[in-house]
A and B are shown apart, each in its own frame.
Chain A
Amino acid sequence: MSKKEFKLPFPYYVGIKSLDEIVNKKTRVCIMNILGGESSTVTPVSHRYSGGNVVAGVQYGRSGSKLETPAGDIPVYGSIKEVISAGHHFDTGVVYLPPTAVNHAVSELCSQNDDLKKIVIVTEKIAVRDARYIRWGCQQRGVDVFGANSLGIANAWDRVRVGGALGGDKPEESLVKGSVAIYSNSGNFCTTISEYIKTAGFGTSTILSSGKDIYIHFALPEFLYAAENDPRTKVAVVYIEPGGYYEKMALDWIKDGTIPFSKPIVAVVTGRWKKNLARAVGHAGAIAGGGDDAEAKEKWFDTYFGVSEFNEQKPTNVSEKGVRVSTIQDIPAAVASVMKKIGQKSDFEPIGDLSLKPWFVNDQKIEYSPKLIIKPVEAMSPYNIEIKEANKQVGGQFIRESMRNRSGVSYMDSKSQITYIHNHSLLHIVKYPFAATSIFAVTSQIPDETETKVLTPVINYFAAKGSKYINQAIEARKNGASPNAYLAASVLTSGNNEMYQLLTEYTSKLIDMFYLDIKGDLHIKDKLIAEKLKEKSIFSTSKITEEDERVSEYLNSIVKKYGLETIFTRYAAEYNLKNKADAKRANPVLLTIACILLSSAWKPLAEKQITRKNAEDLPTYLALNGVIVSCAALNSDKNSFYQELTALKKLDILETEFTSTCFQVLFNRVPEEKELFELNALLNLTITNGAGTISAKGSKESVSAGNYISTAYAGFMMNTGFVHGGNGYEAVDFLINELGDYDPYTQKQASWDKNLEGMADKVANAYNEYKKQEKAKGNNDYKKIPCTNHPVFKGKPVNIDPREDYVRGLFKEKSLVNPFLEFYHHLVVKLHEVGATKNVFCVNIDAVIATVSLGLFWKQFKKNEISEQEMQDIVFTLFLFARMVGCSAEIADHRNRGTNMDCRTPASEMTYAR
């Protein structure tokens, strides 16, 4: 292409003479803040598309780094000076820095690189003061500036884009070589207009995103001048917003001959509605003053063109100077008309059209008027393929981010102190069976009563199988290990055992096998099952025992008994039957379990409420719960329930309510109904206290380090101890000491109130004396009575912890009276009456835990059937039973959302304690 001799017509510095000079194959780029969030996403695409035109990047303090791209690594330096010293040459600087740093970066680029010709500023929200300094400095230096708030410049002929992300992540798709130059105040519309004009058979020469700050450094006059001198460009499309006189200057200068310009323009001005705004919305500079609103700008263009607004019904009504369109959708037709007017042909055959083509529609059975009824159409390629692939995506998706001090499953309301898990308050879930809560923690949906009956045998089966690791616990207990330590030993030993692996694999394969065919529908489809049964060899196998067959059949019978057969359970049943003779088949019991659990997780999975990983891991979580529960058995060799459960001879034992299982492994007796209710409430109430507890953090940190689920379980247990979990015994100990020989269970319940009140009076008086003496000694750190008072629920004449109040009320509804809890209520009143407390302290939620625990082992304690050590261990173990459920939710959440090492504390946040 031959170039004319140019005499620059501007009263200020402009270096660009033709659009094809702005960016082309020769352009070499250095990017400031190359490793920042936006650049690190955009630059690799730009670098690949442009054939590797980024010579270097700058990231302050990160010299020696690199940015990986498909076109090779881009070296990163600590300053422009370092870039130049390393021998790199570039003519274009791109600035991605935060607003306050941009002015400085422009100075650095201008002063450190003698070859610099252009700067593209991508950053938005730059102060106007900095913009005028940039203007002044770059005018002095002789550098063209594009932006700020520019998405850069693209040259479709040379396949180069510089600056921002014009064309998005698929630049080839939008940036098609052609004869239209685009100048747009909107970066988005650069790409959108490029797409639109393809429908009329036009591609682009150079696309320039001008930005729309108050200062547009490379504005319409310069653009049109450069378009005139660009032989590739036949027409300019300009998208303009209110505010600023750049367009008037350009048109005035064309009219008076300052700028030679002979090509047509298709202009669109939007923003009439902004006329009455006192401040900018959208682009900072899109705020009109007196005479530069959208209406005024439309008049400038109409006067210049000499024709009125484009009307598609009268496409010939355009002038050789061009035409203004009312909206961007008219641009393709207007470009075609203008081109025809000047005798130019389209660049290629039209691609697609702009008619309404919904890719997804759901009327939800609403009977719309005919003109609104619109059928979905297959998306254009390659989006149609992407949709097909996306439709295979099962379950919810999360954006990975640091989950160090965050949780997607639990939070504590600071006012009420009530903890929520999956948006259910603990008070709400307190009455559900503990088995249901165990499932809910991972699936976020509470199984109903019938479903719980089907799931309970599975959960108990896991407890039975988990007992194989009890020797580690026994050994550790012998050595004085605390419950968290000896149970962690068992859990850790289970590692990622074959059962966990097979259950995960089976679940995963079942999802793949059925999801696309059934979506959210679990109804049995015999034909589909028959079809899937032909694929028998897809599952890994393991040694299959008679017990496996037996339990499998039993579990299947339970499913049928409760009428909860699903396509999965039917598939498992038929698979096991059909392949019974085949040695290389799936393990029947594990396949049945995978199918039962997947049925339970299916609804939230299909509704994207949980991830695929959650569903695949659900059996592992429950199996690990089983390890903890069975290995917690005290004196397991003498525990008849434990023996029967783990023997798996009489399978009816698997229907034992899971709360009862937890009770019986610890107490070696069948619980009374009252005890079962109280224990169930206790366990549910304790499952979580929010993700900030150190037990939850332990599990999250272990996930963050990349561990198996079993190790993350050990992580939560390693973060419990005598002051977190084991401290529950403090209150038990207090009650035992204070109640002395008094045994409420040997007396009639009617007498409790009076007796307990009397006991409370004695304890209150004694405590008041003790407190006075300690204070007299100057000791303000005297012993406090456990389970009374609370940092939030205090200061009123009579204080109530609403959580304790709720549970006590729940007990009363069931006519359950816990004498120890009632004692506490008398005690707080008496403490106030004797003057030991300023007001009536609340009985806090910990009292529920302590008094329920004490109630459970009181009778055995009185009969000397249980030692103090065992009582301590039981209180701690109950805490671990509960928290294993809460932590399974946190582990699942962190595995879904967290990033590797996200729980690490950066060195910069650490302080050195001397």
Chain B
Amino acid sequence: MQLTGLKYGKKILDMVEFPVASMLDEEASHDEIKKLIDAHGGKCVVKPVFQGGVGKKGKAGLVRIVSSVFEAIEAKKDLFFAKHSTAGRTVQANGVTFEGFIPSDAEIYVSITSSTILRAPVMTIIVEGGVDVEEVDEDKKRVIPFNPITGIKTFHLVNALNELNCPAKYISPLVQQLPKLWQAYDNYGLLTLELNPIRMANMGGRFVPMACDIKVGFDQDNPAHKRLGYAEETFSSDITQFEAEVNMLRTYQGQSDVTELNKEGSILPFIFGGGANSAATEVLGDKAIISSDFGGNPPYEKMKAISDICFKHWLKKANILLVIGGKANNTDIFVTFKAIFDSLKENIKLNPDIQIVIGRGGPNLIKGMVYARDIMDTLKVPYRVFGFDSSMVGVLQYTLQLDDWVIENKNKLQKKAAS
């Protein structure tokens, strides 16, 4: 769950009274845009609005600085449905913001994250905004760990800003405002908070740090983010319809993590366990329609509901249903297999030609396997069921070979089924 840009992010900063650049959305009238431009030294910034977390907009030329209403409207036309490819995926904008241009001779990068090196929250400061934090030399940034109970203190910030040669006139305004970001981070269930850039607005001789862009990641497991009242669709580009349906089942007992990988894939994998999820998805590559982790001993009802959703979306497309996991510690194989195969029984009409490969170990293994076997026999689907004494990767590789063969022999198989 991520969001980016001031249209959505302003709300979080307003909650802790952190100053934000003036902003209008795509509904703004010409008059309003004109007033915004006039109030900001004759300039405003036009940016596309993306849902979910999207970075590197500036580098992609998707940020326009304009100086007239005409230019602003032209930029709006260009950017409203702009496409942006980043981190291996392409997203499309649906709207723009008009943001007051803030003249400033300094730009600041600030973020708060959880550091796995220091095992504490850290604030990272760079006195050079609009940068990619990974590309900045170590000596140009300061990573400040701090006590999560007390939050970040002004002396932490003063020391860091001094070390980074921040212009003296900006130090006091920054140390007054930056600690507020911890309140936002801690109170609303954030995983990452990045303001990039902050520009220093001169308000009649008094400098105020203004957030000009924001990127936020939320902790799915912390309900505090609900206090912000964002509509579900704010994060909708993060997830597909299929993922959304499965996510509805998210509870602490039993995993229900899925991600849609390749709609054109041919293997529908039900993966159990985080380790198996990583390993299996890697081996299956593009052939996997989804990646999933259904481990954590899900109760029957949950597993059945997940199976129903998976089959509804993908069974028809799949050549192979793969149920794969290591030797479970606690996940009851009978309960999970019963749920999966009860659901398969109900949905088999979607794809009576499905082939099934199972590789699994764990409590109630034989009871579960025999249950699955009996249903597969009844449904007259071909299957191979491997125990945990067969290599999981071996089972995955066998599944890939089987899938290749099914693709090559699809016509033959269809004729046989028809006869």
Residue contact B361 to A241, C-beta cutoff 8 Å = no
Known A-B contacts A168-B363, A362-B377; the reply to A241 vs B330 at CB < 8 A is no
Q: Which of B376, B395, B405 is A372 in contact with, Cβ under 8 Å?
A: B405
A494 to B257, CA, bound (A): 54
Interface residues of B in 282-301 (CB under 8 A from A): 282-283, 285, 291-293, 295-297, 300
Known A-B contacts A136-B149, A246-B116; the reply to A355 vs B221 at CB < 8 A is no
User: Closest CB-CB distance, B330 to chain A, in whole Å?
Assistant: 4
Known A-B contacts A279-B1, A328-B279, A380-B389; the reply to A397 vs B371 at CB < 8 A is yes
Asked if B367 lies at the interface with its beta carbon under 8 angstroms from chain A, I say yes
Interface residues of A in 237-277 (CB under 8 A from B): 239, 241-246, 248-249, 270-277
Q: Which of B117, B252, B327 is A191 in contact with, Cβ under 8 Å?
A: B327
For A165, A282, A284, A401, the residue with the greatest tally of chain B CB atoms inside 10 Å of its CB is A282
Residue contact A136 to B370, C-beta cutoff 8 Å = no
Residue contact A127 to B282, C-beta cutoff 8 Å = no
User: Closest CB-CB distance, B144 to chain A, in whole Å?
Assistant: 15
A397 to B378, CA, bound (A): 15
A843 to B294, CA, bound (A): 49
Residue contact B224 to A129, C-beta cutoff 8 Å = yes
A195 to B89, CA, bound (A): 39
Asked if B193 lies at the interface with its beta carbon under 8 angstroms from chain A, I say no
Residue contact A151 to B275, C-beta cutoff 8 Å = no
Residue contact B390 to A278, C-beta cutoff 8 Å = no
Residue contact B148 to A133, C-beta cutoff 8 Å = yes
User: Closest CB-CB distance, B339 to chain A, in whole Å?
Assistant: 9
Instruction: Give the chain A neighbours of B224 by CB distance below 8 A.
Output: 127, 129
Instruction: Give the chain B neighbours of A496 by CB distance below 8 A.
Output: none
Residue contact A186 to B276, C-beta cutoff 8 Å = yes
Chain B residue at minimum C-beta to C-beta distance from A292: B116
A280 to B243, CA, bound (A): 13
Residue contact A38 to B367, C-beta cutoff 8 Å = no
Contact with A along B99-119 (1 / 0, CB 8 A): 000000000000001101101
Stretch at the interface among A387-395, A409-417, A430-438: A387-395
User: Closest CB-CB distance, B130 to chain A, in whole Å?
Assistant: 17
Q: Which of B363, B387, B391 is A379 in contact with, Cβ under 8 Å?
A: B387
Known A-B contacts A241-B278, A244-B116, A276-B88; the reply to A188 vs B328 at CB < 8 A is yes
Instruction: Give the chain B neighbours of A87 by CB distance below 8 A.
Output: none
Asked if A428 lies at the interface with its beta carbon under 8 angstroms from chain B, I say no
Residue contact A133 to B149, C-beta cutoff 8 Å = yes
Instruction: Give the chain A neighbours of B259 by CB distance below 8 A.
Output: 277, 279, 281
A130 to B257, CA, bound (A): 21
Residue contact A124 to B329, C-beta cutoff 8 Å = no
User: Closest CB-CB distance, B274 to chain A, in whole Å?
Assistant: 4
Asked if A651 lies at the interface with its beta carbon under 8 angstroms from chain B, I say no
User: Closest CB-CB distance, B191 to chain A, in whole Å?
Assistant: 6
Asked if A53 lies at the interface with its beta carbon under 8 angstroms from chain B, I say no
Stretch at the interface among A211-219, A565-573, A632-640, A782-790: A211-219
Instruction: Give the chain B neighbours of A1 by CB distance below 8 A.
Output: none
Known A-B contacts A41-B330, A278-B238; the reply to A132 vs B120 at CB < 8 A is yes
Asked if B209 lies at the interface with its beta carbon under 8 angstroms from chain A, I say no
Residue contact B366 to A352, C-beta cutoff 8 Å = no
Instruction: Give the chain A neighbours of B416 by CB distance below 8 A.
Output: 366
Residue contact B390 to A189, C-beta cutoff 8 Å = no
Instruction: Give the chain A neighbours of B134 by CB distance below 8 A.
Output: 290-291
Asked if A371 lies at the interface with its beta carbon under 8 angstroms from chain B, I say yes
Contact with B along A192-212 (1 / 0, CB 8 A): 100110000000000000001
Asked if A670 lies at the interface with its beta carbon under 8 angstroms from chain B, I say no
A270 to B274, CA, bound (A): 10
Q: Which of A167, A187, A294, A390 is B367 in contact with, Cβ under 8 Å?
A: A390
Counting contact residues on chain B (CB < 8 A from A), the size range is 35 or more
Interface residues of A in 321-363 (CB under 8 A from B): 327-329, 352-363
Residue contact B283 to A327, C-beta cutoff 8 Å = yes
Residue contact B373 to A127, C-beta cutoff 8 Å = no
Residue contact B326 to A99, C-beta cutoff 8 Å = no
Instruction: Give the chain A neighbours of B82 by CB distance below 8 A.
Output: none
Residue contact B386 to A359, C-beta cutoff 8 Å = yes
Asked if B407 lies at the interface with its beta carbon under 8 angstroms from chain A, I say no
Known A-B contacts A132-B148, A188-B276, A270-B278; the reply to A607 vs B388 at CB < 8 A is no
Known A-B contacts A276-B87, A358-B385, A364-B382; the reply to A188 vs B272 at CB < 8 A is yes
A168 to B394, CA, bound (A): 22
Known A-B contacts A195-B361, A366-B413; the reply to A127 vs B394 at CB < 8 A is no
Asked if A368 lies at the interface with its beta carbon under 8 angstroms from chain B, I say yes
Residue contact A151 to B257, C-beta cutoff 8 Å = no
Q: Which of B113, B119, B255, B375 is A282 in contact with, Cβ under 8 Å?
A: B255
A249 to B119, CA, bound (A): 12
Asked if A12 lies at the interface with its beta carbon under 8 angstroms from chain B, I say yes
Instruction: Give the chain B neighbours of A38 by CB distance below 8 A.
Output: 253, 297, 330
Asked if B159 lies at the interface with its beta carbon under 8 angstroms from chain A, I say no
Asked if B273 lies at the interface with its beta carbon under 8 angstroms from chain A, I say yes
A800 to B69, CA, bound (A): 61
Asked if A386 lies at the interface with its beta carbon under 8 angstroms from chain B, I say yes
Q: Which of A245, A276, A279, A371 is B89 in contact with, Cβ under 8 Å?
A: A276
User: Closest CB-CB distance, A609 to chain B, in whole Å?
Assistant: 8
Interface residues of A in 651-698 (CB under 8 A from B): none
Instruction: Give the chain A neighbours of B386 by CB distance below 8 A.
Output: 356-359
Residues of A contacting B: mostly: loop
Instruction: Give the chain A neighbours of B413 by CB distance below 8 A.
Output: 366
Instruction: Give the chain B neighbours of A390 by CB distance below 8 A.
Output: 366-367, 370
Residue contact B221 to A272, C-beta cutoff 8 Å = no
Instruction: Give the chain B neighbours of A130 by CB distance below 8 A.
Output: 222
A126 to B278, CA, bound (A): 21
Residue contact B326 to A188, C-beta cutoff 8 Å = yes
User: Closest CB-CB distance, B83 to chain A, in whole Å?
Assistant: 17
Instruction: Give the chain A neighbours of B52 by CB distance below 8 A.
Output: 278
Asked if A578 lies at the interface with its beta carbon under 8 angstroms from chain B, I say no
Q: Which of B119, B371, B383 is A361 in contact with, Cβ under 8 Å?
A: B383
For B224, B238, B370, the residue with the greatest tally of chain A CB atoms inside 10 Å of its CB is B370
A286 to B277, CA, bound (A): 11
Interface residues of A in 101-157 (CB under 8 A from B): 123-130, 132-133, 135-136, 151
Asked if A598 lies at the interface with its beta carbon under 8 angstroms from chain B, I say no
Residue contact B330 to A281, C-beta cutoff 8 Å = no
Asked if A42 lies at the interface with its beta carbon under 8 angstroms from chain B, I say yes
Residue contact A371 to B384, C-beta cutoff 8 Å = no
Asked if A699 lies at the interface with its beta carbon under 8 angstroms from chain B, I say no
Residue contact A164 to B384, C-beta cutoff 8 Å = no
Chain A residue at minimum C-beta to C-beta distance from B284: A273
Asked if B34 lies at the interface with its beta carbon under 8 angstroms from chain A, I say no
Residue contact A125 to B282, C-beta cutoff 8 Å = no
Asked if A169 lies at the interface with its beta carbon under 8 angstroms from chain B, I say yes
Instruction: Give the chain A neighbours of B297 by CB distance below 8 A.
Output: 38
Instruction: Give the chain B neighbours of A490 by CB distance below 8 A.
Output: none
User: Closest CB-CB distance, B55 to chain A, in whole Å?
Assistant: 10
Residue contact A273 to B285, C-beta cutoff 8 Å = yes
Residue contact A168 to B327, C-beta cutoff 8 Å = yes
Asked if B38 lies at the interface with its beta carbon under 8 angstroms from chain A, I say no
Known A-B contacts A188-B328, A191-B327, A271-B282; the reply to A281 vs B88 at CB < 8 A is no
Interface residues of B in 325-379 (CB under 8 A from A): 325-330, 334-335, 338, 361-367, 369-371, 373-378
Known contacts A282-B274, A361-B385; 4 further A-B pairs (Cβ under 8 A): A216-B116, A246-B116, A387-B370, A393-B370
Residues of A within 8 A of B (CB): 12, 37-38, 41-42, 98-99, 123-130, 132-133, 135-136, 151, 164-169, 174, 184-192, 195-196, 212, 214-217, 239, 241-246, 248-249, 270-286, 289-292, 294, 327-329, 352-364, 366, 368-369, 371-372, 374, 379-380, 383, 386-387, 390-391, 393, 397, 399, 401, 607-609
Please name 13 pairs of A and B residues whose Cβ atoms are closer than 8 Å in the assembled complex, sorted by A. Answer: A186-B274, A188-B276, A188-B329, A189-B273, A242-B278, A245-B116, A270-B275, A272-B282, A275-B88, A278-B238, A290-B133, A358-B384, A360-B383
Shortest beta-carbon contacts, A-B, top 9: A186-B275, A192-B326, A276-B88, A188-B273, A127-B222, A270-B278, A189-B275, A282-B277, A244-B116
